[in-house]
């Protein structure tokens, strides 16, 4: 498995680098997954860094704060890494601040930034440019506190998405991508064939119709992911050759009414056919994590999640899960994303200590053994080597998908400006359409107007 992982990631990053795209941000990920609780055994099994591998700390006693989003499992893993770091750097104390789900996290961080009381270190997603004014440029720490400036320690292409005009603003915590998870146990029990990798949109919809004919009453082929995840819509627009947002001409959208209508009409037709749940059922499930997922609840057989969520969704279910890539169609649109990153608050009073914590978090094998792929596939070859023997069936499925989409990859693109507002408004628009409060034409027009308004802010 180790060789399989390394070859796959080398292919991914070679493609991204060869595309010579301008630095861009990744979409903000959804609620992180649960996973098996970390253990001391996992950490001790890692290839431990020696003291010589760690940059020295030259300051006095310091306390730093680290704020992130995630469930209890992520909090437990993160706290264990904090304890490992404090053992390596006894002069530094780290206060962890888990902030629940993604929306809760950014609401809290926004309030803290407004009050000049934000943590020293902040977990961000593809929306990091919205916070650039608060972030410390990290170039001066490279090769000193941050030993991520060589390919031996860190994939250099993983630095591109968080770099603008030659300045590094945050450090990748791993890579992930969107996938379609499916309930293998449920589908097999219904007597249907399992879905295949790289189906077209038409093939996927036809497959859904076959499932509908054999699934139990009240169980739907697909989760309604029409507007609860902006990244799925963005993927479709990219396939149509009309990307939502680019860095062209300093920032430009190519979104069209035609693409908007195609997307929204497809899901409206699926709702009419019973391929996705009715509006009331869909509204019951927020699809931000395992605790409000129609897939986990057994109400749907196939649902959209991030690849680093697959293990957590599996842990939340007794049925066996597997996964396939998003549908093929039109232009290449698959990007391996920077799942999350850590940025440093420029107002931090302990920047050296904060930089050392980032370095430990992303490059130390003992830390990597605890974190696993919870925040995505690690960007450090040293860490990947340390955790290669821990690969689960869920990890293997993700690595298989990475290979299956190799010929569809594009460099990851930037988020639409004011990304969180777009996510919130898109969900409301989708609900209005599901409840037939607006027509597809009206919803399409409102979607394009929303994109234009946020682009102009």
Instruction: Return d(Cα 415, Cα 421) in angstroms, integer.
Output: 12
Report the DSSP pairing between strands 92-98 and 62-68: parallel
Q: Give me the pLDDT at residue 39, please.
A: 41
Mean pLDDT of all residues in 306-326: 94
Please give the model's pTM, rounded to 2 decimal places.
0.75
Q: Give me the pLDDT at residue 29, please.
A: 32
Q: Which residue has the higher pLDDT, 16 or 252?
A: 252
Q: Average per-residue pLDDT in the chain? A: 88
Instruction: Return d(Cα 114, Cα 16) in angstroms, integer.
Output: 36
Contact partners, residue 123, CB within 8 Å, separation at least 6: 66, 67, 68, 69, 105, 173, 340, 341, 342
Q: Give me the pLDDT at residue 126, please.
A: 86
Q: How many CB atoms lie within 10 A of CB 53?
A: 13
Q: Give me the pLDDT at residue 4, please.
A: 38
Q: Give me the pLDDT at residue 77, please.
A: 94
200-234 pLDDT, tens per residue? 999 999 999 999 999 999 999 999 999 998 999 99
Confidence of residue 42 (pLDDT cuts 50, 70, 90): very low
Mean pLDDT of all residues in 33-48: 40
3-class SS of residue 73: helix
Mean pLDDT of all residues in 74-80: 95
pLDDT tops 70 at residue 303: yes
Q: Give me the pLDDT at residue 33, please.
A: 33
pLDDT tops 50 at residue 188: yes
pLDDT tops 60 at residue 128: yes
Bridge partners for 313 per DSSP? none
Share of the chain above pLDDT 90, in %: 69
- CA 241 to chain CA centroid, nearest Å: 23
Q: Give me the pLDDT at residue 413, please.
A: 83
Confidence of residue 28 (pLDDT cuts 50, 70, 90): very low
Q: Give 187-233 as a DSSP string.
A: HHHTTPPPP-TT-BHHHHHHHHHHHHHHSPTT-EEE---SSS-HHHH
Mean pLDDT of all residues in 226-252: 94
Contact 333, 121 (CB under 8 A): no
Confidence of residue 99 (pLDDT cuts 50, 70, 90): very high
Instruction: Return d(Cα 339, Cα 135) in angstroms, integer.
Output: 18
pLDDT tops 70 at residue 84: yes
Q: Which helix (H) or strand (E) holds 183?
A: strand 178-183
Low-confidence winner among 32-36, 197-201, 395-399 (lowest mean pLDDT): 32-36
pLDDT tops 50 at residue 376: yes
pLDDT tops 60 at residue 20: no
Q: Give me the pLDDT at residue 280, please.
A: 96
Q: Give me the pLDDT at residue 43, please.
A: 40
Low-confidence winner among 22-36, 179-193, 233-247, 283-297 (lowest mean pLDDT): 22-36
Low-confidence winner among 17-31, 132-146, 173-187, 218-232 (lowest mean pLDDT): 17-31
Contact 112, 118 (CB under 8 A): yes
């Amino acid at each position: 498995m180790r060789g399989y992982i390394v070859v796959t990631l080398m292919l991914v990053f070679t493609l991204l680098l060869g595309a010579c795209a301008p630095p861009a941000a990744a979409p903000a990920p959804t609620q992180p997954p649960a996973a098996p609780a970390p253990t001391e055994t996992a950490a001790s099994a890692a290839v431990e860094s020696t003291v010589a591998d760690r940059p020295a700390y030259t300051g006095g006693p310091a306390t730093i704060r680290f704020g992130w989003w995630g469930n209890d499992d992520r909090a437990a893993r993160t706290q264990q890494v904090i304890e490992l770091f404090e053992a390596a750097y006894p002069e530094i104390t780290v206060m962890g601040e888990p902030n629940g789900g993604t929306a809760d996290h950014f609401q809290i961080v926004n309030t803290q930034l407004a009050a000049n009381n934000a943590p020293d270190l902040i977990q961000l997603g593809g929306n990091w440019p919205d916070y650039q004014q608060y972030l410390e440029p990290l170039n001066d720490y490279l090769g000193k506190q941050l030993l991520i400036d060589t390919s031996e320690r860190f994939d250099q292409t993983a630095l591109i998405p968080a770099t603008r005009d030659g300045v590094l603003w945050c450090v990748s915590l791993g890579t992930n991508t969107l996938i379609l998870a499916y309930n293998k146990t449920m589908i097999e029990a219904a007597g249907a064939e399992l879905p295949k990798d790289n189906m077209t949109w038409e093939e996927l919809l036809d497959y859904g119709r076959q499932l509908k004919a054999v699934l139990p009453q009240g169980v739907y082929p697909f989760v309604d992911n029409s507007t609860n995840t902006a990244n799925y819509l963005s993927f479709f627009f990219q396939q149509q050759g009309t990307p939502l947002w680019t860095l062209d001409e300093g920032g430009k959208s190519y979104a069209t009414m035609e693409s908007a209508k195609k997307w929204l009409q497809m899901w409206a037709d699926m709702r009419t056919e019973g391929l996705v749940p009715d509006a009331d059922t869909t509204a019951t499930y927020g699809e931000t994590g395992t605790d409000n997922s129609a897939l986990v609840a057994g109400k749907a057989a196939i649902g959209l999640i991030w690849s680093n969520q697959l293990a957590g969704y599996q842990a939340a279910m007794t049925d066996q899960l597997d996964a396939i890539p998003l549908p093929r169609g039109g232009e290449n649109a698959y990007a391996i994303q920077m799942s999350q990153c850590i940025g440093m608050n420029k107002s931090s009073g302990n920047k050296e200590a904060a930089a050392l914590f980032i370095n430990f978090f992303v490059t130390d094998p003992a830390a990597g053994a605890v974190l696993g792929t919870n925040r995505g596939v690690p960007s450090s070859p040293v860490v990947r080597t340390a955790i290669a023997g821990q690969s689960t069936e869920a990890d293997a499925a993700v690595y298989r998908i990475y290979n299956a989409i190799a010929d569809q990859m594009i460099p990851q693109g930037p988020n639409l400006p004011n990304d969180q507002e777009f996510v919130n408004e898109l969900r409301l628009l989708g609900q209005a359409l599901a409840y037939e409060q607006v027509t597809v034409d009206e919803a399409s027009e409102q979607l394009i107007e929303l994109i234009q308004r946020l682009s102009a802010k």
